[in-house]
Amino acid sequence: MRLSLLLYFLLILPISREVLESYMVTHMFVQLPLLYAVGMLFPNRKEYKTRHIWSNIIFVLGLLSFWMVPRTLDDALVNTYTEILKFISLPLIGYLWKVSWRHLSEMTLAFIYTQLVSMCGLFAWLYLDTPIQICNNYLINEQKIVGAIYLVITIFMCGYLLKIAFIGNKKT
Amino acid sequence: MQTDSNNKLIANYLFIGGLIVFVMMLFGVMMLLTQGGVIQLGPATFYQFLTIHGTGMIGACALAASGVMWYFLNKHVVLSKKIFITNLICFLIGVVMVIVGVFSFDYASAWTFLYPLPTLSAKAWGTIGALLYLFGMLIIGIGFLLLFLDIGRAIIKKQGSLAKGLGWDIISGKKSEKDAPHVAIVAATMVTIVDVVALLVGATVLMMNIIHTINPAYTFDPLLAKNFTYAFGHVFANSIIYMSVIVVYELLSKYTNRQWKANKVFLIAWTMSTFFTLIIYTHHLLMDSVMPRWMLITGQVLSYANGLPVLVITAYGALMIVYKSGIKWDIASGLTFIAMFGWTIGVVPAIVDATIVVNHVMHNTKWVPGHFHMYMGLGAVVMLFAFMYYLTKVDKQIPITKLDWAALYCYLISMFLVSMQFLVSGAISTPRRWATHIPEWMGPALFGGIAGIFVMIATSIFIYHFMNYFFYKNSTKDS
Ligand code: HEM
């Protein structure tokens, strides 16, 4: 609990926001994951019933797709409400995911994971390849770095998929 | 009871697949008659027909073939029926979207939706048509992805890993041949590996096209797009035959009372085909001189080798299992045997065309449809029909009439002629995918159109026979 609140406090400080949000890479790959981590570190007091799980998951996936659209992050830089929404919704995603994911079947997890692989691949391609500036607030060269990071993430995710499929689960 | 309802579901897969194949044949015949100068469709309509024919045939055959695979695999591993139903629902939703996109919004990029054609159509169709088509394909893909993830999960649960599903521990000598996975598991593992890769790449390239359609300012590297598109389309279409071939193994085993055991050679062949299938799509890019040379050469060499390992061991195995077995021939086993023959001869024109020097002349001629109509029409589709007869026999003992036998011969001859007509057109340099033909090219097309009508007659008899599955009361069961 304390760790989570401390992290949240640190992230919300104007100085850290200023630093993390001034680069696309740190905004996307440091600030957002840390906000998510805030939610993950938040203690889980309540035992969720399985029937709540699906509403959580749909909510999480909906929010996640909202933040996947480049325009929304761009907006967070100029619009205070979107920024506030970001600081509320991302920890919420983290928390809801934490309390729900264990209840999901292997199949659902595998499906979400493979969809993420496709999506990360798509983002790598989009950010690396497209000749136009996607965000108003970040330059094209930053966009390329983000693309390269997505590519690395995609490769690692594929590697993990291969490991599960080919080396398999020790238990079975 | 459980088996009964499972089989009914599988029968639905086959019936829907078969029905779509039949309707798509109608579009095929109309295209040939247009090219033959008998009817005038108009180019725009022709390309709509071309799009729906290609998409429908590949989609419907994949659906039916996955039903066949599920039927046999479910005897060896525990599969989820819920997922199987979900796939069918996704398929139907996707099909409706594709049909509306093509016929109500004039979408006509051919089933290969090669970037940037879905967006830049010179106003032949608009954004909505393209989005309906692309999202429709995406939903169909999601259904199949779910299905293959479930199959992969089930195989990993039973065997430990997909590597063991392909029998690598037997190939490496860690286990003896008698512990080899069942042939259906080996085939399903191969298909799962190649199709999950294809579908993930396909989802990426479809989303890319969707982004480009919504905002054409986002452009992408067209060569990479082409690579991805064929890595999806070729692999997915190719996997149909590997799903259907399970019926050859299982049916001949049952009919001859001999087990089709996976030995080392069998396992090595399937492993080789797994890798080759993933790599050889580059033979679609032999004309793209900017492709890295080594990739094209790999594409050429491995295309020769692609289907061969599985084809050879299956054809050889089929001959061996039947030899002196006293097998009783009926339509199901007959069709199975014919399918092996169709697959074998269908591969030959492909191998010719995968040769770079030949490809420079033959690519984009009707030689190419010649190859895949032969190996799909006389190979994969025949395996599906064989399964239909098999299911009606083992589940319901529906009697076979003379009409069914006549349909078998009619199908065999007329589908062969349809394929040959394409090859002849290719040999006289008729371009593929042209709505209008000059008089010199019309002859074979017209001939093919007429042969196609006979293919349709035969197919309707097969489907009529299969439809009885749903209505026929099994007298032995009743008593
Ligand atoms: C009565 C049987 C059939 C007829 C008359 C027929 C006819 C045709 C024609 C005329 C074309 C266009 C050729 C061109 O490029 O000019 C075509 C393309 C195609 N056909 Fe068929 N076909 C038949 C059966 C099948 C079957 C059984 C399959 C697969 C399972 C199939 C799959 C395809 C595919 C994938 C294309 C390529 C579409 C494209 O170029 O985008 N066809 N067919």
Residue nearest to atom 7 of ligand 1 (CA): B28
The dihedral over CA atoms of B131, B137, B143, B147, expressed in degrees to the nearest 10, equals -150
Q: Which of B191, B86, B69 is nearest to A107 (CA)?
A: B86
> What residues of B are in contact with residue A132 (Cβ under 8 Å)?
217-219
Instruction: Give the model confidence (pLDDT) of B146-200 as tens digits.
Output: 999 999 999 999 999 999 999 999 999 898 888 899 999 999 999 999 999 999 9
**Domains in chain A: boundaries:** 1-103, 105-172
Residue nearest to atom 34 of ligand 1 (CA): B54
Sign of dihedral through CA atoms B254, B259, B264, B265? negative
Domains annotated on chain B, with CATH: 4-470 (1.20.210.10)
> What residues of B are in contact with residue A155 (Cβ under 8 Å)?
none
Q: Lowest-pLDDT range, B45-54, B75-84, B172-181, B418-427?
A: B172-181
Q: Which pair of tokens denotes residue B408? A: 């078998």
**Helix, strand, or coil here: A42?**
coil
Place of tokens 């390269």: A148
Cβ neighbours for B329, distance < 8 A, ≥ 6 positions apart: none
Q: Which of B402, B386, B382 is nearest to B394 (CA)?
A: B386
Looking from the CA of residue B456, the nearest atom of ligand 1 is 1
Q: Please, are residues B210 and B172 in contact by the beta-carbon 8 Å criterion?
A: no
Distance between CA atoms of residues B260 and B240, nearest Å: 21
Instruction: Give the model confidence (pLDDT) of B283-321 as tens digits.
Output: 777 777 778 887 878 777 777 777 678 788 888 888 888
- Cβ(B436) to ligand 1 under 6 A? no
- Cβ(B81) to ligand 1 under 6 A? no
Instruction: Give the model confidence (pLDDT) of B58-105 as tens digits.
Output: 999 999 999 999 999 999 999 999 999 999 999 999 999 999 999 999
Letter string b/e over residues A49-66, b meaning 16 or more CB atoms within 10 A of that residue's CB: eeeebeebbebbeebbee
Q: Looking at chain A, which residue has its C-alpha nearest residue B200?
A: A118
- Cβ(B110) to ligand 1 under 6 A? yes
Q: Does B164 touch chain A (CB under 8 A)?
A: yes
Question: Does the beta-carbon distance from A114 to B218 stay under 8 Å?
Answer: no
Whole-number pLDDT of residue B84: 97
ipTM of model:
0.90
Place of tokens 């077995």: B325
Q: Cα-flanking dihedrals φ and ψ of residue B427, to 5°?
A: -65, -30
- Cβ(B376) to ligand 1 under 6 A? yes
